[in-house]
Structure 1
Amino acid sequence: MFIDRRSYGLWDPRDHGLPEDFYLTNYTKVPQAKLLEYLKGVGTSIKENETPGLDCAVVKTKFPGIYSISTTDFFYPSIDDPYMQGKIAACNVLSDMYAMGVTDVDTLLMILGVSVDMDPVAMDYVTKELIRGFNDQARVAVTNVTGGQTVRNPWPMIGGCATSTCREGEDFLRPVYGKEGDVLVLTKPLGTQLAVNMFEWMRTAAKFNRVKGVITVDEIVAAYKMAMTSMSYLNLDAARLMWKYDAHGCTDVTGFGMLGHSNNLAQEQEAEVDLVVDTLPIIKGMIKVERHLNNNWNLFKGRSAETSGGLLIMMTPENAAKYIQEYKAVSGHDAWVVGKVVKGSRQGRVVEEPTLIEVESW
């Protein structure tokens, strides 16, 4: 099924000297089994002064009270607009820092894979746009790309490494102080993976026919646009407000989904508490698609991966209400109370039948 991307106000390859059937996401097909094989053994060596399980590496320096906070992340394109994909990649890297309360990032290195499977014209255009998007978003984050590494690769990839030198309690927050009675605040809607997949499904009649009677093309495009808006929005404002409203800990919701990341955060707590997610705000249209597909993405169980997702923050109910109100005023976007911290055994879980909120705009 051909979708005239230009008529929907989306990035169109014809506007950039590329054929109309060019899709950046066609160059990112790596079998999941092969990826898991590659990842075996990664991250198994932890130095004594590092903190495993957190969103960033937290390493003591030789200077008392001073830590080096760093993170590395990269991935293959999930959308077709390479400029927007570059912006999303920068957001995704920086989000791990923001989850630790680090709002001033000293250095940002770019990791770029140039696809050798593209023809030279497409490769040149895509590479330049990925770099431009990444650089532009770094400037919005008030940091600079100071270097990086570029390699030739069968698949295009984009990401980076962020580093900052910090003082504990002043420049970064350890996500370990959750208390019974706290609530969980989420700053972006869920369903990004499903939204971009539905947009991709429209290119294949057999796939699109599975949902054709459930969701319209217009609804899929609207969900896709909302997903891009969310993925390309920095979590910087959300991180800055954590300091003002005394956050007790935070993580960002990305590849492990709500369940995986809430569980990781729960395991880091000093107190014996559980993180219980009872509400899931989801991009409009994706609830009915997920139901129709018999929960194929496990979205309602919190297992669906997100890309450049929101921050999941623990704070008191009183501060959460003020946080959500000011976040809306500062960013123009909604945030939601999605759960609570209860006495337990450092586990995260999503309730059997969570409240589903259809997010109509973000």
Structure 2
Amino acid sequence: MPDTQTEPLLTSLAHGGGCGCKIAPNVLADILSEMPLVAGNTNLIVDAATSDDAAVYRVNDTTALVATTDFFTPIVDDPHTFGRIAATNALSDVFAMGATPIFCLAIVGMPIGKISNDTIRAILAGGQSVAETAGAPIAGGHSIDAAEPIYGLVAMGLVHPDKLLLNSGAKAGDVLVLGKPLGVGIYSAALKRGIIEDADYAEMIASTTRLNTPGSDLAGMAGVHAATDVTGFGLLGHLSEMCRGAGLGGVIEADRVPVFAGARRLAEAGVKTGASGRNWDSVKESVRLERTLSDSELDILCDPQTSGGLLISCSPDAVDRVLAAFARHGHTDAAVVGRMESAKAGVRVV
């Protein structure tokens, strides 16, 4: 068994990291194109048809069960922090549906013999600490000996069926609010290259370990019509899914999108992930650029976010209440980034 002082860095054992290792959306769509959708169960009120954040099963008239899973390879080298980020990211899909988490199961794949038991134990402890903070203890799970380190959760939550937040419920004229700045993928790329500054690393960790708890408060709030979380497909990718679900167009006001200052600086220096290009290839046919964007600005809009922010579609008169809900939960960088419009499903960047 390797010594914790001499074993390889976690990120060196993975070909990608965080949500940047997700299968590109166009490739995933092709893989799933001939898979039949679930039919015949009226209690399964959300399935894969709208690419929503979780599946939802109606238990009774007042309770629905939200179920989701998310896991990935290391985005950082510190094992405890990796566990915290992975757990925060997995729980985000529950919050994005407006639900309250109740318990989790762990998904663990580790290269036994390449990293120590102490390292694996620290990863699990990091995830457990976040799950318990969210009120959703890890009740069990499954583990395998894998070529790359993989960790994540199956997360369960409860919500009233009438308060469920879907990614398909946006209405024309809605305002779009983003809960966290963009740039996590760029930071993770800089980390792997050994060029990230201490302040930027601290900023990345603070964001990726901040639970998207505002989602529970936004469920049932008057004027809040739709929600999703921005993760591996980037802002343009996840907004495109929201547009397809609602049959509407989306508008991103590029100058209003919050971006970590360090990530913008790194992007302008050419730092990016391989996933940002794949994300752009997946959406470019449905995205219209109505202003000139530099390569770095486009990379930021396609940057894969690990444990990214919630994207909320709400009526204009609900914006102040939505921003106040984000602020109550410590999401002080939440900002209006665009709007929904009556148009063919697609995204305009202005």
Identify whether the pair has TM-score above 0.5, normalized to the shorter chain: yes
How far is the alpha carbon of 1:238 from its aligned partner? 4.2
Whole-Å separation in 2 of the counterparts to 1:47 and 1:290 = 42
**Partner residue, 2:183:** 191
Check the 8 A contact 1:276/1:350 in 2, yes or no.
Answer: yes
Whole-Å separation in 2 of the counterparts to 1:71 and 1:107 = 11
How far is the alpha carbon of 1:266 from its aligned partner? 1.1
TM-score (norm 2): 0.80
Counterparts in 2 of 1:285 and 1:57: CA distance versus 1, 3 Å: same
Q: CA RMSD in A?
A: 3.0
User: CA offsets, 1:286-327, max 9 Å, x none?
Assistant: 223222329775663321111010000011223212321342
User: CA offsets, 1:197-223, max 9 Å, x none?
Assistant: 112212xxxxx5xxxxxxxx6xx3222
1:41 aligns with 2:41: no
1:148 aligns with 2:145: no
TM-score (norm 1): 0.77
Gap regions ≥5 residues in structure 2:
278-295
How far is the alpha carbon of 1:28 from its aligned partner? 1.0
The amino acid of 1:230's aligned partner reads: S
Q: 1:162 aligns with which of 149, 155, 177?
A: 155
Gap regions ≥5 residues in structure 1:
1-16, 203-207, 209-216, 352-362
The amino acid of 1:153's aligned partner reads: A
How far is the alpha carbon of 1:74 from its aligned partner? 0.6
- Tell me how many residue pairs correspond in the alignment: 313
**Partner residue, 2:267:** 290
How far is the alpha carbon of 1:79 from its aligned partner? 0.4
Counterparts in 2 of 1:146 and 1:258: CA distance versus 1, 3 Å: same
Q: 2:112 aligns with which of 102, 111, 116?
A: 116
Whole-Å separation in 1 of the counterparts to 2:328 and 2:159 = 29
SS at match of 2:249: strand
SS at match of 1:146: strand
Counterparts in 2 of 1:60 and 1:21: CA distance versus 1, 3 Å: closer
Q: 2:231 aligns with which of 227, 248, 254?
A: 254
Tell which structure's C-alpha radius of gyration is larger. Answer: 1
User: CA offsets, 1:257-282, max 9 Å, x none?
Assistant: 0011001011111xx42111113211
Whole-Å separation in 1 of the counterparts to 2:310 and 2:21 = 29
Check the 8 A contact 1:188/1:334 in 2, yes or no.
Answer: yes
Correspondence list, 1:222-301, <5 A: 222-269=199-246, 272-278=247-253, 279-293=256-270, 297=276, 300-301=297-298
**Partner residue, 2:4:** 18
Check the 8 A contact 2:258/2:333 in 1, yes or no.
Answer: no
Whole-Å separation in 2 of the counterparts to 1:226 and 1:34 = 23
How far is the alpha carbon of 1:85 from its aligned partner? 1.1
Whole-Å separation in 2 of the counterparts to 1:129 and 1:58 = 32
SS at match of 1:225: helix
**Partner residue, 2:286:** none
**Partner residue, 1:92:** 89
Whole-Å separation in 1 of the counterparts to 2:134 and 2:22 = 34
Whole-Å separation in 2 of the counterparts to 1:349 and 1:21 = 47
User: CA offsets, 1:179-212, max 9 Å, x none?
Assistant: 222110011110001012112212xxxxx5xxxx
The amino acid of 2:336's aligned partner reads: V
Whole-Å separation in 2 of the counterparts to 1:294 and 1:139 = 35
**Partner residue, 1:56:** 54
Correspondence list, 1:65-76, <5 A: 67-76=64-73
Whole-Å separation in 1 of the counterparts to 2:313 and 2:180 = 15
